[in-house]
Amino acid sequence: MLLLRCPLLLLLLLPLNSTPQKLPTRDEELFQMQIQDKAFFHDSSVIPDGAEISSYLFRDTPKRYFFVVEEDNTPLAVTVTPCDAPLEWKLSVQDLPEEASGEGSGDPEPLEQQKQQITNEEGTELFSYKGNDVECFVSSSSPSGLYQLDLLSTEKDTHFKVYATTTPESDQPYPELPYDPRIDVTSLGRTTVTLAWKPSPTASLLRQPIQYCIVINKEHNFKSLCAVEAKLSSDDAFMMAPKPGLDFSPFDFAHFGFPADNNSGKERGFLKSSKLGRQTSPKLRVDLHRVCIGNKNIFTVSDLKPDTQYYFDMFAVNTNTNMSTAYVGTFARTKEEAKQKTIELKDGKVTDVFIKRKGTKFLRFAPVSSHQKVTFSIHSCLDAVQIQVRRDGKLLLSQNVEGVRQFQLRGKAKAKYLIRLKGSKKGASMLKVLATTRPNKQSFPSLPEDTRIKAFDKLRTCSSVTVAWLGTQERNKFCIYKREVDDNYNEEQKKREQNQCLGPDTRKKSEKVLCKYFHSQNIQKAVTTETIRGLQPGKSYLLDVYVIGHGGHSVKYQSKLVKTRKFC
């Protein structure tokens, strides 16, 4: 008897150019073996020939499977795949009762006597294994007999898969691995890893449909796709645990000498087992991702985190049988983020900062003198940005900032402040940042909560429009500008020009309407209006209001598109 262990290829059983061995035929009537009562195997199960079955083990509760090999010198292969816990399993064989062998005569023995005869004999142990690898028993010449497969999980309730066949050289349900089954890391970046592997001979030589599935996670490599499915599902198992005493039935039992309930005359193929019980919908875990990429043998994994170790597994899946084989997994650490230069802030001086889309910038403020308070003023010119402020490593502030915001923090002698700015996902960000220990030195003007400009439609004429905007209790200078635009000018174009940091110095002198000072101690009455004259009939204009602070820095209100009447 020749015994082979996985992952040696089943093709090794016979030379490629040899004439295939004629396999024993199955006489279903002969191997009824008086087992008409299915209650005989109530507490165990029958393994179908040539089908992969999925089942469930409760911790410390053994499970036994049976199958029959009818004739001596029969090839045999048994594969056990643990899913989410190590298994202990043993394969043994015992002689069939005389009546079952087909050589006896007379009346059959009562079922109870056969049951005693079978279960009381220990049988000859052929193979045993303990662990979580996909393990095989392969024999080119097995004796006839009743085979028993005993499985046990001592760690936890778990799933597993079993495949058994008496025609291993022709079935080949599992994709074969190439002579070098390793995954190569061909390129490594801060957020990307490129993987390459040799194709499965099942695809390149046997022309069977193979697709490759990549699994990425941060914890460990997986030894089977079954283990990945168990991890991916919501309860760390790919299906609900069956009730004790039940199993996966019915099968299309064209198998191992036991009678089929239906379709007994059909040829045996790759049978798909049914799963008992309600299926759970898989729920993707954020730390484990699976992607199937067809028959390509190179793939770039993107959107990874810098300076992070990832584990990569590759599985070749036969799409005809839905059975898979694992390549030798690998791991790699992405490159570190390029160290950014920290911008030094000077007390009371405005610093311009540019951040690319989803980028990050670091600023440092180290006051030279002792201080009771420190004030940070942030002017986000475009979209909102995230700001974090740490003092000597301790987080003091974490907020999103849009427009102009001011934060006042308690000071500390010889303290150093680190400011982290993270850009928007929408696009690049531009900011003006001011840090000061002098609370009365404010370069940015104060703004109302609402920075919209309101136009009065009833006061609109062929040559003028009237608008209003809110002010504050602080006396500031306001300048209003106008620019004629095309009739097809829309909100999207206006949005692209909403850089609040571009001041009046970027405008043409001809676009200036007027400047004036304005404030009100009563915030409810801090409203000003202005009529803009000298406009052309039926024309569109874009209006901008700038508020200019004591330090000379300006902030633009939201632009307003207006149109004069065509006929008056």
CATH number where 325 lies? 2.60.40.10
In a domain, 369, yes or no: yes
Query: Does residue 545 have a pLDDT over 70?
Result: yes
pLDDT of 199 reads 92
Query: Does residue 268 have a pLDDT over 70?
Result: no
In a domain, 70, yes or no: yes
Last residue of a domain, one of 372, 401, 436: 436
Same domain, 462 and 366: no
CATH number where 399 lies? 2.60.120.680
The pLDDT tens digits for 427-437 are 888 888 989 88
pLDDT of 4 reads 46
Q: If you average pLDDT over residues 50-69, what whole number do you get?
A: 89
Residue 64 in 3-state DSSP? strand
pLDDT of 249 reads 37
57 lies in which domain range? 51-95+124-171
Same domain, 420 and 462: no
- Name residues whose C-beta falls within 8 Å of residue 134's C-beta, 6 or more positions apart in sequence: 6, 7, 79, 80, 81, 82, 223, 224, 326
Same domain, 215 and 313: yes
Q: If you average pLDDT over residues 504-518, what whole number do you get?
A: 91
Looking at residue 492, the DSSP 8-state letter turns out to be H
In a domain, 1, yes or no: no
Instruction: State how far the alpha carbon of 81 is from the alpha carbons of 92, 146, 214, 237, 328, in Å.
Output: 18, 22, 19, 14, 16
Q: If you average pLDDT over residues 324-337, what whole number do you get?
A: 92
In a domain, 548, yes or no: yes
Structure tokens at 200: 């499965």
Nearest by Cα to 427 from 342, 496, 343:
496
Same domain, 411 and 426: yes
Same domain, 128 and 167: yes
Number of structural domains (the chain) is 4
The pLDDT tens digits for 359-410 are 889 999 998 877 888 988 888 888 889 999 999 889 999 999 887 888 888 8
Same domain, 153 and 204: no
Query: Does residue 23 have a pLDDT over 50?
Result: no
In a domain, 163, yes or no: yes
Q: How does residue 497 score in pLDDT terms, banded at 50, 70 and 90?
A: low
Integer Cα distance of 221 and 326 in angstroms: 10
More confident site: 338 or 272: 338
| pLDDT, mean over the chain | 78
The pLDDT tens digits for 168-218 are 877 778 899 999 999 999 999 999 999 999 999 987 777 788 999 999 999
pLDDT of 167 reads 86
Same domain, 218 and 160: no
In a domain, 356, yes or no: yes
Q: How does residue 442 score in pLDDT terms, banded at 50, 70 and 90?
A: low
In a domain, 105, yes or no: no
Last residue of a domain, one of 338, 355, 379: 338
Query: Does residue 30 have a pLDDT over 50?
Result: no
pLDDT of 502 reads 81
Cβ-count burial 356-366 (b if 16+ within 10 Å, e if not): eeeeebebebe
Last residue of a domain, one of 338, 372, 401: 338
pLDDT of 441 reads 63
